[in-house]
Amino acid sequence: MSKNTLLKIQVLFILGTLVIGPILNAQAIYEDERYVPETDTLVIKKLKEWQDLKFGLLMHWGPYSQWGIVESWSLCPEDYGWCERKKGSAPQDYFSYKKEYEGLKKTFNPVKFNPQKWAKAAKNAGMKYVVFTTKHHDGFSMFDSKYTDYKITDAETPFAGHPKANITKEIFNAFRKEGLWAGAYFSKPDWHNENYWSPYFPPFDRNVNYDPLLYPEKWEKFTQFTHNQILELLTDYGKIDILWLDGGWVKKRSEENLEANYNEKFAENKSGNGFLKHRVISQD
């Protein structure tokens, strides 16, 4: 084989790896078939400013960090690698595991928490913004929410008595002081909230585990809870430059939409290509 032929093969292999690698490693690639361009001039201005920032920090942190695991996903009864349960005394028993996972708040005590140090490091690295997970899918609020006891400032959490107990506020203030934008990541799904995962039904997957059309009062309570927490972040935590609402799959859905969703998921599992076409349905 000539050197030129060998070089061509190597180049093709590299190109193939660059193209295929991200596809195989991605959890899913979503396509929004009904994209609606933004028209609000203030929002457009903010988006242009954000695009110029280029480099920022997305930070995941919570009681699960004590186990050194992926945030939240081990609570989700889906057959994906990132949902695997490896920690705790009984990972093979889902409900025992969930109880132990949620009990991690009783030992979460990050007394060396120093957001000023983090902010300076981010600034020195050239970062221009931070996005902090104020609440991930597990439902644990890393801020002093009035609407839940499953939070960093609850009396059962040892860090609650610390002067920097309201972690979200401390992080935002520290990063703003260094001139960075403050961004709030917030999970719409809440796997701790009984009006999202009702204790009457076992969870099947990441979605609400009851039909909101059959139990509208439960859905309304969850909707109000979600709105209230978002308003807390937008009114009690200074200027929020970025609001990242995660979990676009939180929505009311008809039986047809549910069936289509699962058909897509099963097709994805069979093909193994890591793609999932996502259709945005009107959300409440």
Please give the mean pLDDT across all residues of the chain. 84
Confidence (pTM): 0.79
In this predicted structure, what is the pLDDT of residue 31? Answer: 55
If one compares 47 and 272, the residue with the highest pLDDT of the two is 47
Kindly state the average pLDDT of the residues 23-31: 47
In this predicted structure, what is the pLDDT of residue 231? Answer: 97
Measured distance CA(93)–CA(63) in Å, rounded = 20
User: pLDDT tens digits for 205-230?
Assistant: 999 999 999 999 999 999 999 999 99
- C-beta of residue 104 within 8 angstroms of C-beta of residue 97: no
Residue 266 has pLDDT above 70, yes or no: no
Question: In order of start, what are the domains of the chain with their CATH numbers?
Answer: 41-249 (3.20.20.80)
Question: How would DSSP label each residue in 56-78?
Answer: EEEE--SGGGGGT--TTGGGS-S
